Structure 1
Amino acid sequence: MTNRTSVRGLHSVASPADGTSVLDALAGAYERGWQPADIMHATRRSLGAGEVRLAVWAIRYEAAMSKAEDRAPEQWLRQLRAIAEIEARPGPDGSSSLQRTAVTQLWRYLPRLAPECARPSTWPERRTESTAPRVGVDPKVLARIRALLAKAESTEFAEEAETFTAKAQEFMTKYAITAALLQANADTSAAADVHTRRVHLESPYVKEKALLLSEIASTNRVRTVWFDKLAIATCVGTAIDLEQTELLFTSLLVQVTRAMADAARRAVDSGDSGSVASFRRAFLYGFAVRIGQRLRMTGTSATAQAAAEADVAVSAVLPVLARQSAAVDAEFERLFPATKPTRTAPVDSAGWYAGQAAAERASLRGNDHVEGRRQAG
């Protein structure tokens, strides 16, 4: 439930007199495809704590002025609710001129992004339609998937983590297959409903984390493009495939981070690695590559299993998935006509082999999807 009082009361917290340039820069960034969560990511990545507090104030103040609660898409509101939990003080009057200048300059020159939802200038006077939290995905399914992945993340035993993760993947796979078949049976001529979703990656080792995301995405017919300077990846796919990709990536990132720290400590203590940083970078790279290989190897068998449970032949499933992939490819090429493949290279052999071994322990069964195309740039 939206907290209307806390948002609408912001105009009495601080006068925008000294924050006009900041608010103007924010409005311009929104019109170029940026959303509140993107703005916070860029600000945290480039500036300090004082500028982040100023950013929180500006985003919340602008939301109050634009009556976002009544007009913004649900996706926008989810981000505002998350930001509203952050302390907004000080406002523009409590920030220095240097901080205001830094924030203004950063936001003013943010590049254009492919829009994920309507920008503020196109919002209706009042939103009338209700929007689901995640288009096309059953909240009960998501709750069950998240519960399984939470168990995988919390256990210290690799075998248990593998079991929980595999079960979550299998459950989501069956749901995705069933949903695709239902849609195809309802309207054989209907095009796949393709969406985009941005993923923010945090330092360190953002390139290796982007590779892990891309490997997971490609096995789920999701295309990814990577913006190195922004540390942002954009994923293109159907709602269900995007949800599966993001959930699995988030969980595996937690698992690999824990495994990487333990392995790096042992490698450095034993003298098998030159430095912690090089070991961890290679570990992440090796883990990502091996996870991608294993996901692709299990794709065909998982598709057959899901088709059998739906009481249809695999030959009836594959054309449906192929049409979805074609729609995703077309939308990706429309949004990003000029991209180039990229891949970082490991420099620490001990880290590479340790990452491959960790990926084996985190192996995933039950992936239904035909191998997709991966592109990052």
Structure 2
Amino acid sequence: MATEGTYIRTSGIRPDALLVELTGAYERGWQPADVLHITADGGDAADVPLAAAAVLFEATLSGAADRAPTDWVEQLRTIADRHPVAVPVTAHPDDFGAGLRATLPNATRYRIDGLAFTWKYLPRFARLTPPPSQWPHHRSAPDGTAAPAPDPRILDRIRGLLSKAESTDFPDEAEALTAKAQELVTRYSVGAALLAGPSTTAHVRGRRLHLEGPYIREKVLLLTAIGDANRVRTVWFTRVRIATVVGSVVDLQQVEMLFASLLVQATRAVSAADTAGRRGGATAAFRRAFLTGFAARIGERLRAADARATAGAAADAQIPVTELAPILARRSDEVDAEFARLFPTTRTARSRGVDADGFHAGRDAADSATLTPGDHPLAR
């Protein structure tokens, strides 16, 4: 985001221009949560309430609550919860400026111009859901992009467990809460694959995750390792710090839950790691390597757990594992096809050298991470 020292003024921009540039960004593939993320990432915290006000004002004007895809509506709900200041909505977008002056006194002409200028030049993004111009007059039930979703009661339990795990100051309590969340995730995912059967086409879609520093590259490695173990493809956009994961609804939810859980464990482990004798850049290099090793080992453990879960699920269902494996392979093929459609020109990121001590320390910490209740550290 431009600051007062670097911003080049453009003349004639009015407050309602924010709405024009916002809808333009939506047509280029951006979604409400993406717009808030890129605004916050610009570095000027005062721009975020202004961005939220524009997003929510536009949502009311466009009738998003009744017309937008369900994922879009959920993003709007989250934004409204985090930014409760609402701009009164009138019959015409030209009145947006008057509403801003009434609710956000610090929304100066200078700030409005800068935000509109930024949104105007947001690049094209892959469309994960239809933009507002393609919404129906009234969303059907389910809407055109909806798919059978995981049981919301289970998701609420998982989110609650992970929230408690992230907020507690006691590592043992956090580990127990995370283990329980992972148990619910694994049990539900395997059961969903069995219930779908061999002839059901998976509902494959993309979902964006907004990552924050420090050590973003290493966090992407962890996300990718978790996704690879769960038939989910990951692409990372460095400049905007947004990852897109592509997979079935159930597998995407599993990856998000595991990522949140294991990121908590990785953060605690790297904070507790012995960095004695290292300073400055050496400490940062150790921690980057630590998280790289953690991600690599977690990927190995999850792939092994997936193989065991597949065999166990087949045994519980009294079917040969050879009948279950093709179902999962077919879903992987469907994910690959959708990924190629959304991102036809991706490239594989190259690895870089890391601190050997940190890398192996991270692998050791990953061996101690819990994947299911009763799971013990691997013998070494």
Greater length-normalized contact order (CA 8 Å, ≥ 6 residues apart): 1
Residues 1:361 and 2:368 aligned together = yes
Q: In 2, are the aligned partners of 1:283 and 1:355 still within 8 Å (CA)?
A: yes
**Where does structure 1 lack aligned partners over 5 or more consecutive residues?**
1-16, 367-377
In structure 1, which of residues 317, 332, 347 is the aligned counterpart of residue 324 of structure 2?
317
Q: 2-side partners of 1:354 and 1:273: how far apart? A: 18
Matching residue of 2:7: none
> In 2 relative to 1, CA 111–217 (structure 1 residues): closer, same or farther, beyond 3 Å?
same
Matching residue of 1:271: 277
Q: In 2, are the aligned partners of 1:153 and 1:255 still within 8 Å (CA)?
A: no
Q: In 2, are the aligned partners of 1:196 and 1:236 still within 8 Å (CA)?
A: yes
After alignment, is 193-202 or 292-301 more displaced? 292-301
Instruction: Give the aligned CA root-mean-square deviation in angstroms.
Output: 2.6
> How big is the shift at 1:295?
1.4
Q: Which digits, 9 at most, give the CA deviation of each residue in 1:293-345, with x for residues without a partner? A: 22123322221112222222211110100110111111111111111111443
Q: Which amino acid aligns with 1:357?
A: D
Equivalent positions of 1:230-249 (< 5 A) are: 230-249=240-259
Q: Which digits, 9 at most, give the CA deviation of each residue in 1:191-229, with x for residues without a partner? A: 221111111101222111111100000100000111111
Q: In 1, are the aligned partners of 2:233 and 2:336 still within 8 Å (CA)?
A: yes
Residues 1:117 and 2:129 aligned together = yes
Q: 2-side partners of 1:115 and 1:125: how far apart? A: 20
> How big is the shift at 1:169?
3.3
Equivalent positions of 1:37-76 (< 5 A) are: 37-76=33-72
In structure 1, which of residues 304, 313, 331 is the aligned counterpart of residue 311 of structure 2?
304
Q: 2-side partners of 1:80 and 1:155: how far apart? A: 28
> How big is the shift at 1:288?
1.0
Q: Which amino acid aligns with 1:313?
A: P
* Overall identity of the aligned pairs, in %: 49
Q: 1-side partners of 2:147 and 2:266: how far apart? A: 27
Q: Which amino acid aligns with 2:227?
A: A
Q: In 1, are the aligned partners of 2:190 and 2:309 still within 8 Å (CA)?
A: no
Q: Which digits, 9 at most, give the CA deviation of each residue in 1:120-172, with x for residues without a partner? A: 11222223425699743112322343355456546666666555544543443
**Where does structure 2 lack aligned partners over 5 or more consecutive residues?**
1-12, 88-98, 374-380
> How big is the shift at 1:257?
1.7
> In 2 relative to 1, CA 97–143 (structure 1 residues): closer, same or farther, beyond 3 Å?
closer
> How big is the shift at 1:260?
1.9
Matching residue of 2:293: 286
Q: 1-side partners of 2:361 and 2:114: how far apart? A: 42
Q: 1-side partners of 2:203 and 2:270: how far apart? A: 37
Which structure carries more helix by proportion? 1
| Equivalent pairs, count | 343
Q: In 1, are the aligned partners of 2:230 and 2:306 still within 8 Å (CA)?
A: no
Q: Which digits, 9 at most, give the CA deviation of each residue in 1:6-40, with x for residues without a partner? A: xxxxxxxxxxx931221111010011111110000
Residues 1:146 and 2:159 aligned together = yes
Q: In 2, are the aligned partners of 1:145 and 1:172 still within 8 Å (CA)?
A: yes
Matching residue of 2:376: none
Residues 1:255 and 2:251 aligned together = no
Residues 1:96 and 2:102 aligned together = no
